[in-house]
Chain A
Amino acid sequence: MKANFFTSTLLWAVVGLIAVALTPLFVKSNYWLGVLAFMAINTILAVGLNLLMGYAGQVSLGHAAFYGIGAYTTAILTTQYGVSPWLAMPAGILITCIIAYLVGVPCLRLHGHYLAMATLGFGWIVFIVLVHWDGLTLGTSGVEKIPKLAIGSLVFDNDVKRFFLTWVTAILLLLVSANIVRSRVGRALRALHSSENAAATMGVDVSRYKVMVFVLSAAYAALAGSLYAHVVNFISPSVFGFIVSVELVVMVVIGGMASVWGAAVGAATITMLVEWLRSLGEAVPVFKEFDVIAHGLILVLVMLFLPAGLTVGVRDLVLRWVKRRRPAPAPQEKPKEVARV
């Protein structure tokens, strides 16, 4: 089956890995390698959020909170308590999962707007705590000198190494979520997306699955956060604010919900766009800080014109174009006459 071959996850993962391996040959600038590493972190975040939003259909407007909890846990454990990063990162993910579970169990009973508001409120609470709990988080000045990751004598201390670290992690996580989506769990999530009642009738434990995917997507965010902390070596609350939650939603939506690769495309698009706008702003002062407007405008326009997102929208466009080029063959035979009785 041709179609199966081209949509096979493993194939795309191998292609992705080869592309990652070749990239440093072409991209020589450290700055752009840094941007690409950041794109990988955004990809992890978007793919995780997409599991929740695209597949299970649950809106989260507070996802940066989990990103922040993951980053801050590992940052505080390594800088203030001298814990090894390899222990601190799983600890951060574990703590985030516990918090996500505690928040998810009551909140996921809510639907639509109520859920959006509850997650948004949670995101703000976490942000305010990060800013004001000076004793632990050092407030707005942020946590500095977070140690670099190292395997034995291999220290991830330059941009090429960081680029590989983040992208290999991102592709592994993409593989994991592509497999989840194809499994029984993925089918259950899609079922409860289209109708919770119908899913429950078919034997899907709706609330259990919802909490499960919520915790899973929080774990993705926490992993991205701890990677961010160890790659950038400095974190401050502003990286985990409301606008970041919105930006994550933008990535998922732009990429097209209900497609693992779509989320990756969305993350890549938005990261590049922000970067491009920033360099534009430096060159032409009029365009300075245009990114907020651009985000808003893009969100509104994409939602109005391509409600299914960029990947699905473009795919449909191409399909339609192909169809127009090769008009469907006329029906070969006339419908049989109904037998007269």
Chain B
Amino acid sequence: MEQLPDILQYLFSGLATGSIYAIVAVGFTIIFSSTQVVNFAQGEFVMLGAMGTYMLTAWNWHNADYAGLHLPLWLAIAGAVLLAALIGMLLGCLLIRPLETSPFLLLLITFAGGWFCYQNLVLLRNPDPLTPAMPLPAFIGLAVVTFALLGVAIYLLIGVILGKIRSGKEASVPSQIIVTVGASMLFQGIASQLWGKDAVSVDGLASGALLWQLPNTPYPVAMEYQKFWVMGLTLAMVLLLTLFFNGTIIGKAMRAVSVNRHGARLMGINVPRMVIGAFALSAALGALAGAAIAPISCGYYNMGTMMGLKGFAAAIVGGLGNFTGSVIAGLLLGVMESLAAGYISSDYKDAFAFIVLLVVLIISPHGLPALIKRYRKAAAQ
């Protein structure tokens, strides 16, 4: 009885973190099943969700006399999710048909190169506190023009130099891994430049905690309201996604693409559009998870690495491409990690997920569902 509040506390926190892993794992699953690409940049969408929300609420846009946008929280979250979905679409375009999607490449390069000018312009605008600053509209206008010019220049350069020598082949598995790892570093680098390296606190949908005093126990179980939000959002998302994939024509088309691309194409489904849609969907999911967890864990530029890796671990344990499997594996991983951190050692908290992953992979190279299937088959005989 003495142990009960502890156990409940660990279970509660574990379920909340596990929900996040589950959403990230579902994001992996959606992209993997439609493209066979494992998107190592998935965690960065979590970061984009958190930092995007921060950007639209408290961040002061590098401007000392400007107090931030302070949009209503729901609007900020929606904006961050939308931003992440757009960036996810860009990444999808780059991965599936790099050559034909030159406008998207242009956008990406503009985005990547543009912040440079932005930072330079900030220096220009505020050279030192004594000189009067350039008015904000002029500053924004100048920034936009510079972005566009720089983007076009780089794009033309790359197009002229490299556009002709690229082989028309689709990227192989190792090179897809490398492109997504590269994209992940790119996002992190840009985020650290843009929003700095310090952790920032992000507003939550709810603050405070519910104290639940069980009879005959020394202290109550503290359950933060934000964690209820996290779990509720996850549950809602799982339900909505189930409805989407089973009940709507677009969802069914996406499933068809994941079963057989050529078959889907023969049925008149626009495969590239579905694939880009899958990227957008999974980026939006990741960003929502990020916006939900940021008030608990703070937002920082490399928060996506661990989130992404653990979500990926959950997706692998749940059998890559298996929707239900990845949700359950994500929750299990979160609970296990929380229990291990509480009872074994919090120093090695991050290592447990990977130890579990290695053990599962060694026992069953295709995740837990394969193991269960094998066990059932053995039992039936």
Binding site for B on A (CB under 8 A): 53, 57, 59, 61, 106-107, 109-114, 116-118, 120-122, 124-125, 128-129, 132, 242-243, 246, 249-250, 253, 257, 286, 289-290, 292-301, 303-308, 313, 316-317, 320
Contacts and interface: CB of A to CB of B under 8 A. Distances in A.
B309 A249 contact: no
B182 interface: yes
B182 A295 contact: yes
Given A114-B361, A286-B120, A299 B182 contact: yes
A293 B193 contact: yes
A310 to B, nearest CB: 12
A295 B185 contact: yes
A301 B158 contact: yes
Given A117-B312, A293-B193, A297-B182, A303 B354 contact: no
B186 A297 contact: yes
Contacts of A297: 112, 182, 186
B269 interface: no
B94 interface: yes
Which of B163, B350, B358 is the most central at the interface, judged by chain A CB atoms within 10 Å of its CB? B358
Given A124-B309, A286-B123, A293 B186 contact: yes
B263 interface: no
Contacts of B186: 293, 296-297, 300
A304 B347 CA distance: 40
A307 B171 contact: yes
Contact of A125 (B123, B193, B355): B355
Chain A binding surface, main DSSP class: helix
Contacts of A307: 166-167, 169, 171-172, 175
Given A53-B174, A125-B354, A304 B185 contact: no
Contact of A242 (B166, B167, B305, B357): B305
Nearest to B182: A299
A232 B42 CA distance: 36
A303 B350 contact: no
Contacts of A304: 94, 98, 166, 171, 179
B172 A293 contact: no
B365 A109 contact: yes
Nearest to A58: B174
B185 A110 contact: no
Contacts of B347: 128, 132
B162 A110 contact: no
CB-based closest 6 A-B pairs: A299-B182, A296-B186, A293-B189, A296-B185, A121-B354, A292-B189
A171 B365 CA distance: 38
Interface string B341-380: 0000101101101110110011001100000000000000
B313 interface: yes
Contacts of B305: 242
B184 interface: yes
Contacts of B175: 253, 303, 307
Interface residues of B, number: 55
B122 to A, nearest CB: 9
Contact of A296 (B38, B184, B309, B353): B184
B248 to A, nearest CB: 29
B358 A118 contact: yes
8 contacts: A59-B174, A61-B181, A106-B362, A117-B313, A117-B316, A243-B185, A304-B171, A305-B163
B112 A299 contact: no
B285 to A, nearest CB: 19
B4 interface: no
Nearest to B301: A292
A253 B158 contact: no
A106 B167 CA distance: 36
A59 B351 contact: no
B166 to A, nearest CB: 5
A210 to B, nearest CB: 14
Contact of A299 (B123, B185, B192, B361): B185
A124 B354 contact: yes
B178 interface: yes
Contacts of B345: 132
A293 B348 contact: no
A132 B346 CA distance: 10
Contacts of B354: 120-122, 124-125
Nearest to A290: B189
B188 interface: yes
Given A121-B313, A304-B166, A116 B189 contact: no
Contacts of A306: 162, 165-166
B302 to A, nearest CB: 9
Given A303-B175, A303-B179, A307-B171, A110 B190 contact: no
B177 interface: yes
Contacts of A132: 345, 347-348
B116 interface: yes
A135 to B, nearest CB: 12
B174 to A, nearest CB: 5
B357 A300 contact: no
Contacts of B112: 293, 297
Contacts of A129: 348, 351
B179 A292 contact: no
A114 B320 CA distance: 9
A61 B309 CA distance: 12
A106 B362 CA distance: 6
B173 interface: yes
B217 interface: no
B370 to A, nearest CB: 11
Given A290-B189, A293-B189, 4 more contacts: A116-B38, A295-B189, A307-B166, A313-B165
B171 A113 contact: no
Contacts of A249: 178, 181
B182 A300 contact: yes
A114 B94 CA distance: 23
